[in-house]
Amino acid sequence: MENIKSLSSFDQEIFDLIEKETKRQEDEIELIASENYASPAVLEAMASSLNNKYSEGYPGKRYYGGNAIIDDVETLAIERLKKLFGAEHANVQALSGSPANAAVYMAFLEPGDKVLGLKLDHGGHLSHGHSVNFSGRLYNFVQYEVAENGVIDMEKVREVALKEKPKMIVAGFSAYSRDLDWKKFKEIADEVGAYTFADIAHIAGLIAGGCLSSPVPYFDVVSSTTHKTLRGPRGAFILCKEQFAKQIDRAIFPGMQGGPHDHITAAKAVAFKEALQPEFKIYCQQIIKNAKTMAEKFMELGYEIVSGGTDNHLMVIDLRNKNISGLEAEKALEKIGVSVSRSTIPNDPAPPMRPSGVRIGTPAITTRGFEEQEVLMATEFIDLALRNKDDEKVLSEIKEKIKELCSKFPIYKK
Ligand SMILES: *Cc1c(COP(=O)(O)O)cnc(C)c1O
């Protein structure tokens, strides 16, 4: 390996692209609700020799030799995760959110079984039964919706559940800005004899930080990503009641996956340790303060927020009254160095590639240190850009100001 010691000496092209991307992240405002900046400690664990190991199986029961140290790593990750959420059982091998959900369905359902999930354009996720996704092709998903005011009406959920009698009810979403009544979901599920499955991919960090209510005490099974509000490596986990532990573990391996990504398991353990620190609670509180500040400012500026505000880290802006589509907004903001994701709004009249809204979230900017004052500045920049979306000169002036603001809040370049 003499001449492939370092990236910069062996592969200048990839090295330069990584440098460029790091600089882009430093210079621009990241408002994609599912993104965050992992700590140097998390990145270090990911870039370690643990990448090299094969460990099919679980601690103490591996199909390969040489796993004593990996067993300790995975056990630490599991113990920290159980502590973080007060869970009975944890599986930390899921490779990402969608595969974790596939394993959950596999553990509890047969193909063709009926599952109740939130409609995608109302804030659900592809893996909750969309027709183009494996979930929608393998299982019989029926959908509940948000009410006219953009909030989930639990009585309506109950009505659909009583009518459809699903085998499983899924709650937990990608573009829903309100806290959830987990207990009520569980009561409804009990009434119809359904399993309860919470997908907390977006909000896991906020639940861990004590800022949102947790489904863990009530639900049979809970899945999450580790790279969104939880601020860890790209990956996922599954929590469940002890009675379902075996079927969940078997669904992940050998059901769905081969060898776990041990370097990612180590990085997950680091992220869980970070989330167990008292500072993480403060971080979560600030994410929500920032989101509320932003939502209020947008409303003051005449923007419509779906459901009228936010309880968590994100909001969906309905841009119809501003005569700009979600796609146009996303493109205009890209020109000023602000990343957002276009998003459908409930009952969107526009097609999915050109939806009527954008989804905006505050986890990443909060990680780099933005507080209310910077959030207000960012919101004003966004409004100015959307009002001048075709004026390249104004847009490039805003881009410079954003770069200057960002330079005061370095991510990695301390
Ligand atoms: C992000 C997300 C996922 C998928 O996670 P990936 O890691 O992108 O596969 C699943 N469910 C919900 C609710 C999500 O927001």
pLDDT digits (tens, 9 = 90+) for 351-398: 888 999 999 999 999 999 999 999 999 999 999 999 999 999 999 999
CA dist., res. 188 & res. 361, Å (int) = 30
Q: Is the pLDDT of residue 2 over 80?
A: no
DSSP 63-101: SSSS-HHHHHHHHHHHHHHHHHHT-SEEE----SHHHHH
Three-class DSSP labels, 291-322: HHHHHHHHHHCCCEEHHHCCCCCEEEEECHHH
Same fold, 26-38+280-407 and 44-275: no
Q: Which residues line ligand 1 (CB under 6 A)?
A: 34, 96-98, 101, 125, 127, 172-174, 199, 201-202, 225, 236
pTM of the model as a whole: 0.96
Query: What residues form DSSP beta bridges with 91?
Result: 238
Residue with structure tokens 């899921």? 94
* Helix segments in 130-202, DSSP class H: 134-138, 154-164, 182-192
Active site residue 56: yes
Residue 124 assigned ligand-binding role: yes
Burial class (CB in 10 A: 0-12, 13-18, 19+), 211: buried
How remote is the CA of residue 98 from the centroid of ligand 1, in Å? 6
pLDDT per residue over 235-258, tens digit each?
999 999 999 999 999 999 999 999
pLDDT per residue over 46-69, tens digit each?
999 999 999 999 999 999 999 999
Instruction: List the residue whose alpha carbon is closest to atom 10 of ligand 1.
Output: 97
Residue 313 assigned ligand-binding role: no
* Closest-lying ligand 1 atom to the alpha carbon of residue 101: 10
Q: Domain boundaries in the chain?
A: 26-38+280-407, 44-275
Pocket test for ligand 1, best of 34, 96, 125, 268 (most atoms within 8 A of CB): 125
Residue 126 assigned ligand-binding role: yes
Residue 122: the pLDDT is: 87
Q: Is the pLDDT of residue 1 over 70?
A: no
Instruction: List the residue whose alpha carbon is closest to atom 12 of ligand 1.
Output: 201
Active site residue 234: yes
CATH 3.40.50.1100 for domain 44-275, yes or no, is no
Residue 308 assigned ligand-binding role: no
Q: From 3.20.20.105, 3.40.50.300, 3.90.1150.10, 2.60.120.10, which CATH number describes the 26-38+280-407 domain?
A: 3.90.1150.10
Marked catalytic residue, from 26, 27, 56, 383? 56
> What residues contact 205, with CB distance under 8 A and at least 6 apart?
228, 229, 230, 231, 275, 280, 284, 287, 363
